[in-house]
Amino acid sequence: MKILAVLASPREVSLSEAALRYSMKSMQAQGASVTLLDLRKTPLPLYGPNAIATAEHYPGIKSMVDEADAYTLATPDYHGSMSGVLKNFLDFFWLEFAGKTFAYICASHEKGLTAMDQIRTAVRQCYGWSLPYGVAISADDVNEEFEVIDEVKRRRLSMLARDLVVYGGLITGQRREDLQSPESATFLARYRG
């Protein structure tokens, strides 16, 4: 399994990043190959008709998106939704997400449920599969070095990582089969090369 871990927080030090990095270690322990895409360091311009032509980082990010079997999206909760950086990323690569699996991490003072629902809705519109739960993290869950110290959150992040590798692997296998099959009764038929 190749997993792209997408950090969509504009902060230099963030709760989303702390949780994402913890989950990345758990994914690697499950045998997955994990790549971090930090959208602070590789920004995309605001999506629009000519955005791809002017996006300096687009080719490199597109390559990462194409190679990934599954994704973990980490974002702060901004007024009950995802960060604009994450929404912009989804707008750029919506076509590439079809039939792939997604997991969600949300930094929130509340539970991040509305924000994760918004992400899940956007991913569903891209024909992506979502794990049925996500993990919310708050300032109480990390120490001063931004390491996840709350044992319940550590277990949840490890569970999220394990489930993304296992269920993402199952969906990835079926996706590959459907893309190579002549079967027409699958939504992936329209994505065949």
Quickly count: other Cβ atoms within 10 Å of residue 20's Cβ: 27
Q: What burial letters (b/e) apply to 32-58, b meaning 16+ CB within 10 Å? A: bebebbebeeeebbebeeeeeeebeeb
- pLDDT tens for 36-60 read 999 999 999 999 988 998 899 999 9
pTM over 0.85: yes
Distance separating alpha carbons of residues 192 and 69, to the nearest angstrom: 16
- The average pLDDT across 181-191 equals 94
**Residues with Cβ < 8 Å from 89, sequence gap 6 or more?**
6, 8, 39, 44
Distance separating alpha carbons of residues 26 and 8, to the nearest angstrom: 20
- pLDDT tens for 83-103 read 999 999 999 999 999 999 999
